[in-house]
Amino acid sequence: MPGKPKLYYFDGRGKMESIRWLLAAAGVEFEEEFLETREQYEKLLQGGSLLFQQVPMVEIDGMRMVQTRAILSYIAAKYNLYGKDLKERALIDMYVGGTDDLMGFIMMFPFLSAEDKEKQRAFIVQKATSRYFPAYEKVLKDHGQDFLVGNNFSWADVHLLEAILMVEEKKSDVLSGFPQLQAFKVRISSIPTIKKFLEPGSQRKPVPDDKYVETVRRVLRMYYDVKAN
């Protein structure tokens, strides 16, 4: 029997968090090795584990996979979360791509100055409520099903719920004008594997704090300031 997938990243969200979400949604147990020192990172580099000299890296099915999108696509396909045909897969890719764009605005947030954080918070909420959430609200309303694609739970649903919760951390009532998304959030959060991942004590990571930021900067030698949009 193959071992559990093993995730190599920091003890925080970043690009690995969506991988954790998808594995958890599929009901797959996984192990993690947290990068805390530059020496750990350089050992992975010198060992040839990081093809493009970047993390996340996941050991799964005898492979050492890098590139977040490739890892997510593989997991989604392996665990039947990637639609039943090419058309459904294309829709899933499209919805995930939109959600990725929104998440990108949030992922940089912890690395901003206090002043830039307030600007970025407003920017995130504005983009979510004027561009991304209206699109998913319309998809759900027009589709008339419980899930974004077909009538089956997929990667697109997992990714959207993750994004919704991330934006709600910036503005708790951000879904007030989106009844379809409110119902969607309740529905997807109630799926047993998702519900378990949302409970205290799971491998879901908390909102990034100063310790996480300092660790990432030290390990990756990030000596520059990130700028807000």
> Rounded distance, CA 169 to CA 174, Å?
9
CATH code for the part of the protein at 86-190: 1.20.1050.10
Phi, psi of 227 (to 5 degrees): -105, 145
Domain ranges for the chain, please list them: 6-79+198-220, 86-190
Tokens of 15: 């690009």
Asked whether the domain spanning 86-190 has the same topology as the one spanning 6-79+198-220, the reply is no
Query: What's the pTM value of the predicted model, to 2 decimals?
Result: 0.95
Residue pair 17/106 in contact by the 8 Å Cβ criterion? no
Structure token pair of residue 27: 């009901």
Q: Tens-digit pLDDT profile for the chain (229 aa)?
A: 468 999 999 999 999 999 999 999 999 999 999 999 999 999 999 999 999 989 999 999 999 999 999 999 999 999 999 999 999 999 999 999 999 999 999 999 999 998 899 999 999 999 999 999 999 999 999 999 999 999 999 999 999 999 999 999 999 999 999 999 999 999 999 999 999 999 999 999 999 999 999 999 999 987 655 666 6
* CATH code linked to domain 6-79+198-220: 3.40.30.10
